[in-house]
Amino acid sequence: MIIVMKPNTSEESVKNVLGLIQQRGLETHVSTGEEVTIIGVIGDKQKICSCNLEIAEGVDKIVEVTESYKLSNRKFHPESSVIKAGSTQIGGSEIIIMSGPCAVENEEQVMETARAIKKSGAQILRGGAYKPRTSPYSFQGLEEEGLKIMKTARQETGLSVVCEVTSLAAIESAVKYVDMLQIGARNMQNFYLLKEAGKTGLPILLKRGLSATIDEWLNAAEYIMAEGNPNVVLCERGIRTFETATRNTLDISAVPVIKEKSHLPIIVDPSHATGVRSYVKPLAMSAIAAGADGLMIETHPNPAIALSDGPQSLTFPQFDDLCNDLRPIAKVMNRTF
């Protein structure tokens, strides 16, 4: 941490700040310029978080030089993590595709989808049983009945399954049926939910919040990991910007930024990022080219009658075509698929 003092601050104010820091057992390094004095603080900054240094006489600003997230930080864990979800390894050399309907509607829909996506090469089946819809009047999901259907699909196809959880009750049900829990964009900063999900020990797919910075996202991952659960996979799903041509704006730069800042795997969801079926394939390809470890793609046997997110869902032939066209890109990126 660096403390920048206001121009021409009195020596007495500088001494006072140094005293506040040193009283807590931390070392200081003072650099006195012609107008501005800068104080470097060495040691665990948590020890001084109760000092209210920002309001001490003469302090202009405080600049953080290390990030507040530690467990998710690549600086403290240089090797990339590989996370196991059911029988699937995420973050290794293989590109992982999670696919399936936005919402679980019935067993036939899920079984048909599971068989089709497996044939095309997907390793994980997704399907929402608890749907956090923008309108309270939209379909809210089959809840536990939906989780049971996902488990049946897992048993019959061998695919691993991931479902979103939106409450403690949903977590308590989901742990009986799924391989991986998803925390959706709307709950990325629901810290209570993050902690409860972390306690299960199950791998967690953590979607980026609608308006979350990368720093906030990695701090959300930190909440899960601080519960003793290192199994977090990040998912970039588009953020809110001024652009209205797509549902959200896919922040493709998040992929290399996360790869630099964190050791956690990152996948990209071009379905929720765009909301438009025809944009899903080009963005899926660019995500893999940018270095993503996998994708989340919504598919439906008949998107025209989907109860949720039909306009962005791919038909099975469209999904198959996407998977085929991804293979050469995976190869260029030294990945298998």
Nearer to ligand PEP, 207 or 277 (CB): 207
CB environment 316-337: b (16+ within 10 A), e (fewer)? bebbbebbeebeebbeebebeb
Q: Which is nearer to ligand PEP, 259 or 272 (CB)?
A: 272
Helix (H, G, I), strand (E, B) or coil at 292: coil
CB of 269 to Mn ion, least distance (A): 9
* Binding positions for Mn ion, rule: CB under 5 A: 102, 309
Among Mn ion, ligand PEP, none, the one that 207 touches (CB under a kind-dependent 5 to 8 A) is ligand PEP
Torsion of CA 148, 151, 155, 159, to 10 degrees: 150
Q: Work out what residue 185 binds among Mn ion, ligand PEP, none; the CB cut-off runs from 5 to 8 Å by kind.
A: ligand PEP
Residues of this chain that interact with ligand PEP (CB under 6 A) are: 102, 128, 164, 184-186, 207, 237, 272
CB of 199 to Mn ion, least distance (A): 26
Cβ at position 269, least distance to ligand PEP in Å: 6
The option from Mn ion, ligand PEP, none interacting with 184 (CB < 5 to 8 A, set by class) reads ligand PEP
CB 240 within 8 A of CB 248: yes
How many residues make up the chain in this entry?
Answer: 337
Residue 127 contact, options ligand PEP, Mn ion, none, Cβ 5-8 Å cut-off depending on partner type? none
**Residue 26: CB minimum distance to ligand PEP, A:** 41
| Nearest-CB residue for ligand PEP | 184
The partner in contact with residue 45, picked from ligand PEP, Mn ion, none with C-beta cut-offs of 5 to 8 angstroms by kind, is none
- Choose between 115 and 186: whose C-beta lies nearer to ligand PEP: 186
**Contacts for 319-326 with beta carbons within 8 Å, 24 or more apart?**
319/99, 319/116, 319/117, 319/120, 319/122, 320/116, 320/119, 320/120, 321/281, 322/280, 322/281, 322/284, 322/297, 323/97, 323/120, 323/121, 323/122, 324/120, 325/281, 325/285, 326/95, 326/284, 326/285, 326/288
